[in-house]
Amino acid sequence: MTRLVVDLNRCQGYAQCAFLAPDVFTMHGEESLVYSPHADEEQRERVARAVAACPVQAITADGLDGAVGGTSDGAR
């Protein structure tokens, strides 16, 4: 299981994560992000792509080793 943390102070609402992993990240209104702090294994690749696509690097994720575009801590 992947553990996610989004720095909501850094998040600018670009919604790239919601586009790439809609089962994990959703936009509530135009600027408010809602997300599940734990993503299932089947979401791993989508979450890795969402972490990599965040233009402000607001998402960190543990448990993405070996996933496409992922790192162990989500740092880029």
Residue 55 lies in a domain: yes
Q: What is the pLDDT of residue 64?
A: 81
Domain that holds residue 52: 2-62
For the domain that residue 18 is a member of, what is the CATH number?
3.30.70.20
Residue 72 lies in a domain: no
Residue 39 lies in a domain: yes
Residue 75 lies in a domain: no
4: left (phi over 0), alpha (psi -120 to 50) or beta: beta
pTM to 2 decimals?
0.81
Q: What is the pLDDT of residue 66?
A: 60
Total domains in the fold of the chain: 1
Residue 48 lies in a domain: yes
Using CA atoms, how far apart are residues 11 and 31, in angstroms rounded to an integer? Answer: 9
Number of H helices, E strands in the chain: 2, 5
Tens place of pLDDT per residue across the chain (76 aa): 889 999 999 999 999 999 999 999 999 988 899 999 999 999 999 999 999 999 999 999 998 876 654 444 444 3
Instruction: Quote the distance between the C-alpha of residue 37 and its chain's center.
Output: 9
